[in-house]
Structure 1
Amino acid sequence: MARFLKRSTLLAALLCAGFVSSASAAALPAYKDEYFAYPAVISSKDNGAYQVIDYNEMRDINGRDAIPEKRVKDDYVSLRARANQQDLVFKTEAGNVKAMAAGKLKNASFIVIYLHGRGGNRHQGMNDFTFGGNFNRVKYLTSQNGGLYVTPEFKDFANQGEAQIAALIAVLKSQSPSAQLVLSCGSAGGALCWRIAANEQAAPHLTGLVLLGSLWDDGYLKTASFKRRLPIFLAHGSRDPVFAVTDMEAFYQKLKKAGGNYPVQFRRFESGNHGTPIRMADWREILNWILK
C-alpha cells in the first residue's frame, strides 16, 4: 500500500509539472488586438525578425488618446486586472523593494517585470491610461492568464539597482518556481536589463529580455545568457534623440551574425520618438514569441 501511495504521489507530481510547463508555453489569447495591432508593416527582412512599422503621431497619439499623452480612450482599457493589483514591499536579501504587482503572487505560470527609465517609478508601468493603454494591456494579458506582472522601484541603474532587481527575482521565483520570467526595460532601465542578463544568480532565471527605446550592450555577447541564446526583443523609434536607432540596429546585426541566427526580434517605428516603443510595442506578439 505504501509503495502504491508513493507511486501515485510521484505520478501526480509529474502530471502537475507537465501541466505547469504546457500552461506557461501556451499562446496568450487575443485581447483588444484590433486596437493594438501594428498599423502597417512598411518593410521586413530576416524572415520577419526585423520589421519597419508605420507610425503616425496624429493617428497613434491624438487619434488614440482622449487627452493626448495623458489619458487613452476608454475602449483601449479594461480595469479587470485592478481586482488583484497590489502595492507591496518585498523583503529581499538586498533590502526592501517597493513594487506594484498584478496577478498571482504564488505559482504564477509566467512573470513579467517592467523596469522604468530615468525619472520613473513603480507606478509608471502599472498606469492604465498613459502610453496609449499599452501598460494596461500587458498587465491584463499577464494577470488574466495565470501570470504575475510586477513594476518595481530601485535605487539606481548601477550596482545597487542590479542587486535589488536580482534579489527581487530570487523572491518571485521562490514563490513561483516553474514560472518563465520576462524582464522588460524602458529607456535607461535597459542598463539594468543588461546587468541582470550578466548576473550569475539572476540570469539563469530569465526566459527573455524586452528593450523598449533603450540602450545596447556589446558586452552581452560575452555572457552566459548569450551562449544559451536568451531571446531578445528590441523596439525603437527611428527619430529617438536619446539612443540612436542606428546604434541599436547595429547591435541587432551583431547578435544575428555572432549568434548564428540568434533569437532576436527588432521593431523599428518609422518617425517614432523616444517613448514610441513603450506606446506601440505589441505585448501579445512579444510574450507569445518569448514564452513559446
Structure 2
Amino acid sequence: MIRSFRLARHVILAACASLAATMAVAAEPLKPYKDDLFAYPGIIETRDEGAYRIVDYREMRDINGRDEVPERRAQAKYVSLGVRRQEQTLALDGIGHVAVGRTEGARFITVYLHGQGGSRKQGVDDFTFGGNFNRIKNLMAANEGLYLSPDFPDFGAAGAAAVARLIAYYANKSPQASVFIACGSAGGALCHRLANDPQVVGRLGGLLLLGSLWDDGYVRSAAFKAKVPLFIGQGSRDKVFPVERMEAFYQSVRKAAPGYPIRLVRFESGTHGTPIRMTDWRETLNWMLAAR
C-alpha cells in the first residue's frame, strides 16, 4: 500500500513538473529555434542580479568550430534555408529593404540596422556571423513576425528619418506588434537618434546595441523615460568601441534609474563583430517582451 502510494505520488509530481515546463515554454512569446546551438556557451560571471553577464567566448570554438569557412559560411546545421520563401526585396519611398515574414498583421517586428560599410544584404546573409541572421529570420517567420533589414542614406538625421518612416509604415500594418531595433556597430548612432523620437518610441519593445556605441544623453531620451528595454552586447577586445566605455554607459543608466530594464553581455575575448555572431536573439527578445 505504501509502495503504491509512493509510486502514485512520484507519477503525479513528475506529471506536474512536465506540465510546468510545458507551460513555461508556452508562456514565452517566441518559441524555441535551435536553442541548443545558439545558447551562450558558458557564463563566467554574473552580476547585478543577472543584468550583467560575462560570457565565455573562444574564437577557436565559436568561429573555427562553428563555421565551414571561418567568418564566411556557417555549418549547415546552423541554418534553415526554407525561410527564404518568405523573403522579399522591397522599396518604400526610395528606402530599399529586405522583409522576411508577415508584412501585415505581424505579432513582432525586428529591424536590423547595419554599421559602416554594410548594406541591407548584411542583415539577411544566412551564412555569415555563424548563421545568427538566419536564426532571427526563422524566429520571426515561425512566430508570425516580421524581420526588416534596410538600407539608409547615412547614420545621421536623414538615416534616422528614413528608418522611422519604414517603421511607421509596417507598424501601422501590424498595430499590435512590438518593434525591436537592433543596431550593429555605427548603426548605434541611429538607435540613439530613434530613442529620441516619440513616435518611434511609442512602438518600441526594445533596443539592442551590438558591438555599438554609447550616448551619454540616453538618460534624457524618450526611450529612457518610457523604460524601453535596452540590451548591450560587447566584446571585451573591441578596438572600435571599448568595452569599458559601454560598461560605464550601462552603469550610468542603472544609476539614473535603479531597476531600469537593461542588460549587458560581455563576450570575454570577443572582438568588434562578436555580439552580432553570439547574441542570443530569442532569449533577449523574450526578456524584453516580459520586461514591458
TM superposition score normalised by structure 1:
0.89
1:59 aligned to which of 41, 58, 61: 61
CA distance in structure 2 between the aligned counterparts of 1:129 and 1:56, rounded to whole angstroms: 19
Deviation at 1:203, TM superposition (A): 2.0
User: Contact between 1:97 and 1:152, CA under 8 Å: does it hold in 2?
Assistant: yes
> What letter is aligned with 1:83?
R
**Map 1:150-229 → 2, pairs under 5 A:** 150-229=148-227
C-alpha displacement at 1:226, in angstroms? 0.7
- Structure 2 counterpart of 1:41, from 23, 37, 43: 43
Equivalent residue number for residue 285 of structure 2: 287
Distance 1:289 1:29 in 2: 13
Does the 8 Å contact 2:197/2:222 carry over to 1?
Answer: no
Q: Distance in 1 between matches of 2:289 and 2:81?
A: 25
Q: Distance in 1 between matches of 2:176 and 2:194?
A: 19
Read off the aligned partner of 2:29 and give its amino acid letter: A
- Superposed CA deviations along residues 131-171 of structure 1, whole A, max 9, x for unmatched, are 00000001100111100000000000001101101111110
One-letter code aligned to 1:147: G
Unpaired segments of 5 or more residues in structure 2?
1-26
Distance 1:259 1:35 in 2: 35
Match of 2:74 in 1: 72
**CA distance, structure 1, for counterparts of residue 60 and residue 269 of structure 2:** 12
- The answer as to whether partners of 2:183 and 2:210 remain within 8 angstroms in 1 is yes
Residue 197 of structure 1 contacts residue 206 of structure 1 at CA under 8 Å; is this kept in 2?
no
Q: How many residues align?
A: 264
Q: 4+ residue stretches of structure 1 with deviation over 4 A?
A: none
Output one character per residue of 1:6-62: Cα deviation in whole Å (capped at 9) or x when no partner. Answer: xxxxxxxxxxxxxxxxxxx84212111111111110000111110000011011000
TM superposition shift of 1:268: 0.1
Q: Deviations over 1:234-271 (max 9, x none)?
A: 00000000000000000000111111221001100000
1:74-122 CA distance string (max 9 Å, x none): 000111211110000023xxxx210001000001001000000000000
State the percentage of identical aligned residues. 55
**Alpha-carbon distance between aligned partners in 2 of 1:247 and 1:220, rounded to the nearest angstrom:** 14
Find the aligned partners of 1:224 and 1:161 in 2 and give their Cα distance.
Answer: 19
TM-score of the pair, normalised by structure 2: 0.89
Structure 1: give runs of 5+ residues left out of the alignment.
1-24
Q: Which residue identity is paired with 2:215?
A: D
